[in-house]
Amino acid sequence: MPTIIDGKKISTDIKAEIKSQVDGMKANGQRAPHLAIIIVGDDGASHTYVNGKINACKAVGFDYTLLQFAATISEEKLLKHVEQLNADEDIDGFIVQLPLPDHISVDKVTDAIIPEKDVDGFANENFGSIVSDNQLLMPATPYGIMELLKRYDIDTEGKHAVIVGASRLVGAPLSMMLSHDGRATVTTCQKYTVDLAKHTKEADILVVAVGKPGLISADMVKEGAVVIDVGTTRVADDTRKSGYRLSGDVEFEEVSKKVSHITPVPGGVGPMTIASLMINTLRAAKAKL
């Protein structure tokens, strides 16, 4: 039987550790860390994610500010709000919930966030610090994955890690983390990769972050591998009250029969992204001190 990597439990453990530190800060007369969240439009999934982040702030004792704007807000006005948060000394870190409406450039908005408040870890300075000895605020989802591997005592040194998905949000930074901190040999695959199965079958650690349900089947996975499924896609399901279910990129039932460790969807990587956001916010607040 494989070990099911319980991201929800690890996330809860991390939040308890953070709360203990926040309680200590308050006892020493310091204020609690303060996270601001910008959300644009009425996307249901985005609001669900934001609510999760607000609940996490409450759980760890952070202050938080939620800024909600209509989908019609101009790029110029949104950038002005970003500038205001950059200048606000009471805000330790902030995020802009993605996706944004088509008329707003994601790159312009995320690049406008100053690195020391970029708790999503998207800024170029934070991204580049991954391979330095002075790491700053780390990209949240990849950092969460590394924390899962660490807390489940999964050795990465000298292992062959294969990442399917080369996005700047997950695949690219994770490849750097696994290579630099994890000392693994890393292969990164993408939509242009020829014969994907040839690469995935060689992986000691397989990470899939594409957003294509059922992409990875059992015959594409090495016996005894560690499988991290980052994919989270809403799939129609009439048997659910919500009308949908969340599906990963890996065929869980079949793949789980031949691997040593595997993350479920939901309950695997997802909770760790929010936990990493809380870690970054705490680090940003402490850096001010």
**Of the listed 6, 15, 53, 229, which one is catalytic?**
53
Residue 266: asked if its preceding bond is cis (omega within 30°), the reply is yes
Tokens of 257: 């029969």
Catalytic residue, from 118, 120, 204, 229: name it.
120
The closest of 274, 267, 247 to 57, measured between CA atoms, is 274
CA dihedral (95, 93, 168, 181) in degrees, to 10, reads -150
53 catalytic residue (yes or no): yes
Rounded Cα–Cα distance for residues 226 and 150 (Å): 13
The Cα–Cα gap between 265 and 141 comes to: 14
Question: DSSP state, 215?
Answer: -
**Where does the chain have alpha helices with state H?**
7-27, 44-60, 75-87, 106-112, 124-128, 140-151, 171-180, 196-200, 252-255, 270-288
The crossing angle, in degrees rounded to 10, of helices 270-288 and 44-60 is: 50
97 part of the active site? yes
Contact criterion met (CB below 8 Å) for 155 and 131: no
User: Which listed residue (6, 15, 92, 97) is catalytic?
Assistant: 97
Return the active site residues: 53, 97, 120
